[in-house]
Amino acid sequence: MKCDFHVHTHYSYDSTASAREMVEAALKKGIDCLVIADHQEIKGAFEAIDYSQGKPLLIIPGVEVKSKDGDILALNVKTIIPAKLSAGETIKKIKEAGGTVIIPHPFASLCRFKANLEDLISQIDGIEVLNASAFGKGNRKAWDFAQKNNLPFTAGSDAHFPNLVGRVYLEIPGQNLSVEEVLAAIKEKKGKLGGKEADFFEKIIDHLKRNIAKVF
């Protein structure tokens, strides 16, 4: 299964894409599993789950939580996790909600994780090592960090618009897997990275579109 573990909808302040548009983009690109993880919101994930009924696409609900120390992805949660807590407190809240904790784009130029990741290794479930829209050498650094510390890892397009959905993904062995089976495969490091991050100009355009979306 090709899994894109980091996608947004218009419920994020920097996107204008509907859940339906993101689902349709995933289907057209052969993606089998999509994590809708809006900023401090869960409605987009539920809309995607409803729209994808009967379609060959697994939706995992999520939230991208804004902690004091940087963004944290909460996978497979069904409630909003409070913002502006410390990384440790945020992780605790996600775990209490039954979620899986992933640190996205930890070393990216514009959205670097501020806390010391080494101090959190025992608390998190993995890190995002391939983000399609992150600037700089963050993906390489994240991969090296995951390998050095034997950490599970994910890949996510961080798509805020349909064009980047599925640009990168984690390929997990098996077909028609459940949410629990997909998450277990991450923790067991069974996934293989796939796809290619956007080029520099695509990233510039994408971030300009995000800034425009913030105005509206």
What number of H helices and E strands is found in the chain? Answer: 6, 9
| Sign of the CA dihedral with 36 first, then 43, 109, and 133 last | positive
Of the pLDDT bands very low, low, confident and very high (cuts 50, 70, 90), residue 202 is very high
In the numeric block, the tokens 């339906």 are attached to: 20
Q: What's the whole-model pTM score?
A: 0.96
Mean pLDDT calculated for residue range 174-184: 97
Of the pLDDT bands very low, low, confident and very high (cuts 50, 70, 90), residue 85 is very high
Task: Indicate the SS3 state at residue 73.
Answer: strand
Check pLDDT > 90 for residue 122: yes
Domain that holds residue 199: 2-215
The pLDDT value given to residue 111? 86
Check pLDDT > 90 for residue 119: yes
The pLDDT value given to residue 13? 96
Rounded percentage of the chain residues whose pLDDT exceeds 70 = 100
Give the Cα separation of 166 and 194 in Å (integer). 9
Q: Tell me, what CATH number does 7's domain have?
A: 3.20.20.140
Give the Cα separation of 38 and 10 in Å (integer). 8
Check pLDDT > 90 for residue 109: no
The pLDDT value given to residue 110? 82
Of the pLDDT bands very low, low, confident and very high (cuts 50, 70, 90), residue 41 is very high
Count of domains forming the chain = 1
In sequence order, the 6+-apart residues with CB closer than 8 A to the CB of 165 are 4, 7, 22, 25, 26, 29, 31, 34, 157, 159
The pLDDT value given to residue 25? 98
Check pLDDT > 90 for residue 216: no
Give the Cα separation of 140 and 178 in Å (integer). 30
